[in-house]
Structure formats: C-alpha cells, structure tokens
Structure 1
Amino acid sequence: MENLSNYFGQNIIQKRIVVTGGTTGIGKAIAELLVSLGGRVFIFGRDENDFNNAMNDIKEKLKAGEIYGVAADITQKDDIDLIWNKVDHVLGGIDILINNAALPARGIIEGSYDDWKYILETNVLGYIAFAKEAVNRMKEQQSGHIVNIGSMSAEVKEKTGVIYVSTKTAIRGFSTALRKEINPLGIKVSHIEPGAVTSNMQTAPKEVQKEKIAKLEMLEAEDIAMSVLFCLAQPKRCDIVSMQVRPHLQLI
C-alpha cells in the first residue's frame, strides 16, 4: 500500500467540503481534521457564539487548507439559500457534504408539537435539503461524496429518546435509499452511526463524560472524525456504505 499519509489525504486536499453543524462536537472535529489535510471547508451552526469560537479556534490551528462559514439555522429556508450562495461563491461548488447538524430529543411524554417540529426539521429535513442541493451540484461533475452522521439510537431504540430515535431511524433509511438513487451519478453515500460520544448533546456534565471516556464507555468527537476520514479516503471503486462506531465498553 502507498504511504498512508498520502492515502488519507489524497481525497481531501483542495476538495470543497460542507459540514452542517460544524461549529461544535463531532462537526467541529470533522472540520478541523479535513482542514488540516488541506480541505477547503465551509461550516455553519445556528449559535453565533459557537460559530465565532469554532472559526477562531480552527484558524489558530490552520497550517493547511481553508476554513469559511456563516452563522445560520438549517431549518430556515432563507438561511439555507444564504449558505449555498456563499458556498458557490467562496468554494465554487461542492465535492463532499458531511450531514451532521442534529439536536437531542427525549420521549413522547415530554415536549410539545412545536418542539418536535423543530427537531424533525433539523434532524431529518435538514439532511434531505442539504443532500438535494449537494446532488444538484455534484451530478454535473459526475462525482461527490455525502456522509450522513446517524446514531446507534436507530438500532438500540431506547425508550428515553423516542423522538431522537425516530429521526435517526429516518436517516438510516434515507441513506440506504439515497445511495441507490445517486450512485449511478458517480456520487457516493456513507452512513456512520456513532455510539455514545462526548458532546453538548450529552446530558451528563463534562467531568462525567471525561470519566466515561477514561473507562472506555464513551467516544471522543475526534474518533468519529477519523471514521469519516476513512470513508472519504477510499478509492473510487470502493464505498464504505455503513459504519457503526461504539465505545469499547458500551454494550449495545
């Protein structure tokens, strides 16, 4: 096999990449890694403080690649249009889409219709809307890669997260069907389902999350970023269709 640094970087350097929900957690870790390998990365998130902090943090570490972005909400059509206008302007198109923006949600007894509507628009419609815009651009060049970040909740189906389980089960089905539709256009689709990962979505305090990481009961966001990189690094002939990544001692 060729030099591994070349193997992992060859499909990233100078590629035009969009990471939804790229300002915190898994999304930010993915953006940082792909920028470090020479990618031209565009991120966004709905919280302006998180966006500014992410941009400043990534720029401070920047030794290769490029980072762009905007504070925007994936549920707002005007914001979606704004994002893609900026992507077209600064990147000139897209080669890789990382669909990652998602919100936590609990059981059906808690919450309200408006709460659930916003969750569904973020976790499901957001993925579909961004995949649609990416495919519109990728099909012209007969190449591209969409990575959908799902969750092991789609398999575990925990009773404490009925709404979240519903959204991540939808992403599992969406990814499978989407691949069948767009593979003939030269576009790859990968679906990654992490187990427990330290992030702002976790209800446990940061100290507790660190303890779980030390006990091999929780993953770091960087672990999922490396999984994404593995999917992206494959040659054109090879698709990583579905991947599950679990903490060693998360016994699902």
Structure 2
Amino acid sequence: MRKQLQGTTVGITGASMGIGAACAREFAAQGASLLLCSRSSEGVQQLAHELQHEYDVPTYAFALDVRQRQQVEQALQELPAQWQAIDILINNAGLALGLEPLQDGSLDDWEQMIDTNVKGLLYMTRAIVPGMIQRKRGHIINIGSLAGRYAYPGAAVYCGTKAAVRAITDGLRMDLVDTPLRVTDLQPGMTETNFSNVRFHGDSSRASQVYRDIEPLQAEDVAQTALFIATRPAHVQIQEVLMTCTHQAASTVVHRPGK
C-alpha cells in the first residue's frame, strides 16, 4: 500500500531533537524521503540512520548552522542532485534564551535568537522557495509559537522573533498566491522538549518548573499536526494553526491542576 508521502522530499531544520526529530519520524512513517540538518552533526546523523532502518526511507543528514548565510547557501548548493528538489520545508530551527526583563537582557542571547529564529528561517526560505516555484509544487511550514501572538514578561525579544515569523509567513503566502505553493505557520504553546533547558542555559531544575503540575504538549503532538497540514489535498491551504495544551489559554494564562 502506497504511503501518503512516498516520493516526497521533506527538509527539516533543527532536526536532531524535539519537534524537528518528531516531525522526521512522523513524515518517515508516511514514506517521505528525509533531508535533515542540525548544528549537531552526530545527533542528526544518528536519527537519519535510525529512521532509514526503521521505515526504509531514503535519508540524508548534514550539519548546518542556519544562522550562517554563506554556510546555508553553500550547503544547499552542494546537495547531491537527488536531494535538490525539496517538496516540503519545515523551518523548525529556533530557540529561546533567558527570561530576564528587557532592560537586563543579554545582547548575545538576543543576537542568537534573532539570527536563528528570523534570519535562519529567511536564509533557508530564500534558498529553497525559487526551486519550488520552478517545479510548481511545494509547502513551507514555519514552526512559530503562541509567543508570536501573546507576549509575556522576560521574553520580549523571543516573542518578537516569533511575531516576525508570523508576519513573514503571511507575507510569503501573499507573494506566492499566484503559485501552487502553500505556506503555513504552526504555532504551538507549551511543549515539553529541550526548549526550556536551552532557555535556562542547562539549568534542568529551573526548566522542569515550566511544566510543573500540567500536562503540556509533546513534540509528537506538534509533529502529527504538521503531518496533517502537509497531507491536505492540493487545493487546501491551512494558513495557520494555534495549538496549546488544554489548560493553557495564553502564554501566561495556565491552570496547574496537577498530573
């Protein structure tokens, strides 16, 4: 029986863990060929090997720091010919750093968030979308955030980057309205991944408090939603999806009933 995405090439950034890795697994299960990149070469190579063995799908993994414009351009230009035609791009690479008031924030943290969440997404999109237009097929799924809609204290810059993702996604959709390409902003709320551990620079004790007494989204929940979005009929474009766990209404409006 033919799987839904057999013959489709899916490119995923930030694929070594979290939502990126979960997307890789969900799309592999539907027969997609996987083009996986991450700053962690070892992690993404291991994932590609596991998925190729488990689902018998072609995989190609490489190290890539999406913040580096020249590295992005060179890496994509040097892809083997069979991996050049990307049908679905999942711009997943992103992070939050720190939770200090703006006036006390780290400029280094700000630059890393802006360079990854905004500029990295733009570099990947600019490099890949022209080929999609030429081939007259393609879908760009940007992993945004609830934070792009509802700012919260200590996260002005992170929220600003995700608001930018939302605006960029909307603008790109308008620019492509006369093509068959589809563009989606997938905006999850609290999702239990390595996200908070990264935000707090490895302070796992502090990170664990984010999800205290609540059942947050899991990476698999977001990945399954991305798969649903990508497998709609060609005439259906899901412009955006905002998803949270049941007890989260906005960024800081959370009920913690205990698990």
TM-score norm. by structure 2 comes to 0.85
Aligned to 2:90: 98
SS at match of 1:239: coil
Q: Give the aligned residue type for 1:89.
A: A
The TM-score, its normalising length taken from structure 1, stands at 0.87
Unmatched runs of 5 consecutive residues or more in structure 2: 198-202, 251-259
Unaligned runs of 5+ in 1: none
2:31 counterpart SS class: coil
- Residue 216 of structure 1: how far off its partner (Å): 5.2
Map of 1:14 onto structure 2: 7
- AA paired with 2:60? Y
- 2:172 alignment counterpart: 178
Q: Residues of 1 paired with 2:147 and 2:223: CA distance?
A: 19
Change (3 A) 1:198 1:93: same
Q: Is the 8 A contact 1:40 1:66 kept in 2?
A: yes
More helix per residue: 1 or 2?
A: 1
Contact (CA 8 Å) 2:45, 2:61: kept in 1 or not? no
- Among 235, 240, 244, the alignment partner of 2:238 is 240
Equivalence for 2:224 = 226
Question: Which of 201-210 and 97-106 deviates more?
Answer: 201-210
Aligned to 2:110: 116
1:81/1:70 CA distance change after superposition, 3 Å: same
Q: Tell me, in whole angstroms, the C-alpha distance in 1 between the residues paired with 2:128 and 2:210.
A: 39
Relative to structure 1, the CA distance from residue 36 to residue 83 in structure 2 (aligned partners, 3 Å threshold; closer, same or farther) is farther
CA distance in structure 2 between the partners assigned to 1:79 and 1:221 by the alignment:
28
1:163 matched residue in structure 2: 157
SS at match of 1:160: coil
- 1:125 matched to 2:119? The reply is yes
Query: In the TM superposition, what are the counterparts of 1:7-156 in structure 2 within 5 Å?
Result: 9-10=3-4, 12-60=5-53, 62-87=54-79, 89-106=81-98, 107=100, 108-156=102-150
Could you list the per-position Cα deviations for residues 16-35 of structure 1 after superposition, in whole angstroms to 9, with x for gaps in the alignment?
11101111100010011111
1:240 to 1:209, Cα distance in 2 relative to 1, 3 A = farther
Is contact 1:40–1:65 with CA below 8 Å preserved after alignment? yes
Task: Give the superposed CA RMSD.
Answer: 2.5
| Segments of 4+ moved more than 3 angstroms | 109-112, 203-213
